[in-house]
């Protein structure tokens, strides 16, 4: 029943940055937002409102995509999109 | 009857906790002692969740987590790939799975007494919505024979009808009965 | 009426049955269901009480003072950091000799952030003049609230009382609970009769300064009240049995299979339920083992523990809290109490921050005692 003490950093300090990347929250989704690239006007409002910074914008092309590893399916982007280019679909689990 | 331990697997929002609560009430209505509790984690919609029930002839004083259950109820078959649903399950333990597949198709559950029932379909037919949490208990009643369908009905009434949700209670009772018949 | 409910529901039912008049509350996990349920009772007209939505636990405790000082029955509930925020007010309530009951749904104190059960919140507040009862079951949580007002409002006591019950391990556990009839509770628990109360027709001052020439006298009165409470707790427990058919050991100490025991475990709260199962298993194997469950940490049942431990070969104490830099506080108290018994006593720290305490843990502890191991450890 004895446990190694080594792996517990003093004060529970997380000593390396970016560890939240390891916590992939994509499997929280019940619904999945899907972008219709034909309709997208690249206004980036979805990028602005996404609470999880899970909307990616390609630096060269400006094309918007969703990082499903982190998107929790809150669908704020669906609501925000002024041209209804983002659809809500049932997540297939 | 010795202590019976049940673990329910569901996804956040599916009602696994309510389900365990109803089962504990039903067992109590059948004159047994019972205890139900959720896995005390950080709850969120869609994430795998567990809840537990203990049923015994004598008062349940055991307070540790459930480590080696006698019965597993899986409300969402996609969980079989996501979590180890048979972890700690007793050798001759029973697994009830809500799925359209047959027991033979569920390779990960080999070696256990597996019962598959399409509870979602029954719930959609009877309730009109995929509410499987209470309906699934019908299968437990039929297969374990530890809790009667009558007691389950009374438990559903206690939880829903007494809170002014008589219509929901009726639909759940109907669905539970349909699942009970299908499982028999 | 027997029903399968959560301990949180059971506590709320008890508060209703005790006809509590004012509840200043600030919800915090895992005690949240208590204010939720009480709010439902009040909204539905089932309970004639005033709920005060305060802005913090500090304010909840402060409002508690005002309520009791004006002669009404008060209740509040909290957990963990919530109790810590009340800390400044705790000794003021007891120092002003204001009776009333607070439910503490025991939860670890941060850091690291942790919402799960241990006893660090309440145990570390044990010196603030509150009687502390630790419950083992939902039923006991309910019953302790009713007994709690009876004890706290006794004229020889007039000290506030905490009913401590394990967060999640009780607050969120559904199990059969016998909810007593209102009539029976009414005859068991008469209306609160304060010694002094604030009234515009008869002005008084509450909470003045106590200079060095008087301060110690007031503290001694409080200590005497605590000593008086030992008998009051016992009497409340036996009177409760007469009225409701249930009691919890002597009221302060609850013994299980101790009569012919050679080895004993001392613990508090829900871990004791698991200990009972372990003891039954070991007894079947011929081991003479038993449990002494401390129900009342303050006042501490020193004399009772001494006689309970007579004839025992070795004792283990399970603490769900550690006084950092020293040891488990329950261990300290138990060792003090049985100092004259002169037997080995081991300290085990277990169940911190929701870490499960299992039958296997108790089996290990009893094996340690049997083997004559002289030192306890942390149980992971």
Q: Which pLDDT tens digit goes with each residue over A18-68?
A: 888 888 888 778 789 999 999 999 999 999 999 999 999 999 999 999 999
C interface with A, Cβ–Cβ < 8 A, is: 111-112, 361, 364, 377, 379-380
Q: Does any CB of chain C come closer than 8 Å to the CB of residue B37?
A: yes
* Fold matches, C2-244 and C253-379: yes
Strand order in the sheet with C174-178: B113-117, B94-98, B71-74, B4-11, B48-56, B33-38, C174-178, C2-6
For A91, nearest residue in chain B (alpha carbons)? B46
The answer on pLDDT for B43 being more than 70 is: no
Is the pLDDT assigned to residue A88 strictly greater than 90? yes
Distance from CA of B10 to the nearest CA of A (A): 13
Q: What is the DSSP letter of A13?
A: -
Question: What pLDDT, on a 0 to 100 scale, did the predictor assign at position A28?
Answer: 76
Residues 72-101 of B with CB under 8 A from A: 76, 78, 82
The whole-number pLDDT of residue A3 equals 56
Band (A6; pLDDT cuts 50, 70, 90)? low
First to last CA, chain B: 21
For residue C322, pLDDT beyond 90:
yes
User: What pLDDT does A92 receive?
Assistant: 67
Q: What pLDDT shows up at residue C276? A: 98
The answer to whether the peptide bond before residue C299 is cis (omega within 30 degrees of 0) is yes
SS3 per residue for B64-93: CCCCCCCEEEECCCCHHHHCCCCCCCCCCC
Q: Which candidate in C109, C110, C112, C113 is best for mutational testing of the A interface (most A CBs within 10 A)?
A: C112
* Predicted ipTM of the assembly: 0.95
Looking at residue A91, its pLDDT comes to 77
Residue B179 is predicted with a pLDDT of: 97
At residue C352, does pLDDT exceed 60? Answer: yes
Contacts of A27 in chain B (CB under 8 A): 46-47, 82
Q: Which of B45, B75, B98 to mutate to test the interface with A (most CBs of A within 10 A)?
A: B45
Bridge partners of C345, per DSSP, are: C315
Tell me: the pLDDT tens digits for C65-94? 999 999 999 999 999 999 999 999 999 999
Strand order of the sheet with strand C289-294?
C253-256, C289-294, C263-267, C314-319, C345-350, C378-379
What residue in B sits closest to A25 (Cα-Cα)? B47
pLDDT single digits (tens) C240-274 = 999 999 999 999 999 999 999 999 999 999 999 99
pLDDT tens per residue, range C122-178: 999 999 999 999 999 999 999 999 999 999 999 999 999 999 999 999 999 999 999
Query: How many other C-beta atoms are found inside a 10 Å radius of the C-beta of residue B22?
Result: 26
- Domain limits of chain C? 2-244, 253-379
- Residues of A within 8 A of C377 (CB-CB) are 2
Give the integer Cα–Cα distance in Å for A73 and A31. 5
What is the band of B92 on the pLDDT scale with cuts at 50, 70, 90? confident
* Calpha distance B69→B75 (Å, rounded): 16
Average pLDDT, chain B: 93
pLDDT tens digits along C208-236: 999 999 999 999 999 999 999 999 999 99
Q: What pLDDT, in 10s, does the model give residues C34-62?
A: 999 999 999 999 999 999 999 999 999 99
Q: Which CATH number fits domain C253-379: 3.40.50.1980, 3.40.50.2000, 3.40.50.920, 2.40.30.20?
A: 3.40.50.920
State the Cα torsion C18-C19-C23-C25 to the nearest 10°: 40
Look at chain B and report how many structural domains it folds into. Answer: 1
Residue A7: C-alpha distances to residues A10, B64, C115 (Å)? 9, 26, 22
Kindly report the pTM of this predicted structure. Answer: 0.93
Predicted pLDDT at C249 = 98
User: What CATH number belongs to C2-244?
Assistant: 3.40.50.970
- Token look-up 């987590």 returns B65
> From C114, which residue of chain A is nearest by alpha-carbon distance?
A12
Name the phi and psi angles at C27, rounded to 5.
-65, 140
CA angle C290, C293, C297 (to 5 degrees): 150
Separation of alpha carbons B89 and B95, rounded Å: 9
**B61 contacts C277? CB cut-off 8 A:** yes
How is chain A split among helix, strand and coil, in percent rounded to 5? 20, 15, 60
Pairwise CA distance, residues B125 & B172, whole Å = 12
- Asked if pLDDT for residue C26 goes beyond 60, the answer is yes
Residue B111 touches chain A, beta carbons under 8 Å: no
- Tokens of residue A86, six digits: 């983002």
Is the pLDDT at B30 greater than 90, yes or no? yes
Query: CATH number of A29-90: 3.30.70.20, 3.40.50.300, 3.20.20.80, 3.30.365.10?
Result: 3.30.70.20
Contact A1 C364 (CB under 8 A): yes
- Domain extents in chain A: 29-90
What single-letter DSSP state applies at residue C73?
A: -
What is the distance, to the nearest Å, from the Cα of residue C230 to the centroid of all Cα atoms in its chain? Answer: 14
Residue C337 pLDDT grade (very low, low, confident, very high; cuts 50, 70, 90)? very high
pLDDT confidence bin for A93, thresholds 50/70/90: low
From the CA of B81, how many Å to the nearest CA of chain A? 10
Q: What is the pLDDT of residue B42?
A: 64
Distance between CA B92 and CA B113 in Å, rounded?
7
The alpha carbon of residue C308 and the mean position of all alpha carbons in its chain are separated, in whole angstroms, by 21
pLDDT band (50, 70, 90) for residue A2? low
Give the dihedral of Cα atoms C379, B64, C264, C233; nearest 10 deg: 120
Q: What is the mean pLDDT of chain C?
A: 97
CATH number where B32 lies: 3.40.920.10
Residue A12 is nearest to which of C112, C364, C380, comparing CB atoms? C112
Average pLDDT over residues C278-306: 98
């Amino acid at each position: 029943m004895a446990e190694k003490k080594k792996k517990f950093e003093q004060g529970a300090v997380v000593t390396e940055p970016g560890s939240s990347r390891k916590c992939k929250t994509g499997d929280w989704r019940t619904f999945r937002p899907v972008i219709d690239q034909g309709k997208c006007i690249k206004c980036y409002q979805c990028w602005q409102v996404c609470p999880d910074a899970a909307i990616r914008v390609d630096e060269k092309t400006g094309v918007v995509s969703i990082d499903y590893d982190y998107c929790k399916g809150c669908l704020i982007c669906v609501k925000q999109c002024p041209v209804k280019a983002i659809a809500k679909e049932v997540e297939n689990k | 009857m010795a202590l019976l331990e049940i673990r329910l697997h569901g996804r956040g929002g599916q009602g696994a906790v309510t389900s365990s609560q109803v089962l504990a009430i039903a067992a109590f209505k059948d004159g047994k002692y019972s205890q139900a509790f959720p896995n005390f984690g950080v709850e969120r919609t869609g994430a795998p969740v567990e809840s537990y029930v203990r049923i015994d002839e004598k008062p349940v004083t055991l307070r540790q987590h459930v480590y080696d259950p006698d019965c597993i109820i899986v409300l969402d078959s996609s969980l079989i790939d996501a979590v180890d649903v048979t972890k700690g399950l007793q050798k001759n333990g029973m697994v009830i799975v809500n799925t359209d597949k047959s027991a033979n198709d569920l390779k990960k559950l080999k070696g256990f007494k597996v019962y598959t029932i399409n509870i979602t379909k029954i719930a959609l037919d009877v309730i009109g919505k995929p509410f499987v949490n209470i309906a699934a208990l019908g299968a437990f009643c039929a297969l374990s024979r530890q809790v009667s369908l009558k007691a389950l009905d009374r438990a559903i009434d206690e939880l829903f009808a007494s809170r002014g949700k008589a219509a929901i209670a009726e639909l759940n009772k109907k669905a539970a009965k349909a699942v009970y018949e299908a499982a028999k | 009426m027997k029903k399968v409910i959560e301990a949180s529901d059971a506590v709320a039912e008890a508060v209703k049955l005790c006809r509590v008049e004012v509840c200043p509350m600030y919800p915090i996990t895992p005690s949240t269901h208590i204010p939720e349920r009480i709010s439902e009772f009040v909204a539905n007209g089932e309970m004639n009480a005033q709920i005060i939505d305060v802005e913090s636990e500090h304010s909840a405790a402060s409002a508690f003072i005002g309520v009791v000082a004006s002669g009404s029955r008060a209740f509040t509930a909290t957990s963990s950091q919530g109790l810590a925020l009340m800390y400044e007010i705790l000794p003021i309530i007891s120092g002003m000799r204001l009776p009333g009951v607070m439910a503490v749904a025991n939860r670890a104190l941060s850091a690291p952030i942790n919402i799960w059960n241990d006893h660090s919140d309440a145990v570390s507040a044990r010196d603030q003049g509150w009687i502390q009862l630790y419950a083992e079951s939902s039923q006991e949580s309910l019953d302790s609230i009713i007994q709690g007002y009876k004890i706290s409002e006794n004229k020889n006591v007039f000290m506030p009382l905490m009913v401590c019950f394990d967060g999640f391990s009780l607050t969120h556990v559904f199990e059969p609970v016998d909810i007593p009839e209102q009539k029976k509770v009414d005859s068991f628990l008469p209306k609160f009769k304060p010694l002094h109360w604030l009234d515009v027709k008869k002005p008084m001052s509450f909470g003045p300064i106590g200079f060095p020439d008087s301060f110690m006298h007031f503290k001694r009165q409080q200590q005497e009240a605590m000593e008086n409470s030992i008998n009051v707790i016992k009497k409340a427990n036996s009177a409760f049995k007469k009225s409701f058919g249930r009691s919890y050991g002597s009221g302060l100490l609850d013994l299980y299979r101790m009569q012919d025991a050679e080895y004993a475990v001392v613990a508090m709260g829900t871990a004791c339920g698991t200990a009972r199962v372990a003891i039954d298993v070991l007894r079947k194997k011929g081991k003479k083992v038993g449990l002494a469950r401390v129900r009342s940490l303050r006042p501490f049942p020193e004399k009772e523990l001494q006689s309970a431990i007579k004839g025992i070969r070795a004792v283990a104490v399970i603490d769900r809290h550690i006084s950092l830099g020293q040891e488990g506080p329950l261990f300290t108290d138990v060792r003090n109490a049985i100092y004259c018994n002169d037997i080995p006593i081991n300290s085990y720290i277990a169940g911190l921050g929701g870490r499960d305490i299992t039958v296997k843990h108790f089996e290990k502890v009893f094996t340690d005692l049997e083997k004559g191991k002289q030192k306890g450890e942390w149980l992971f």
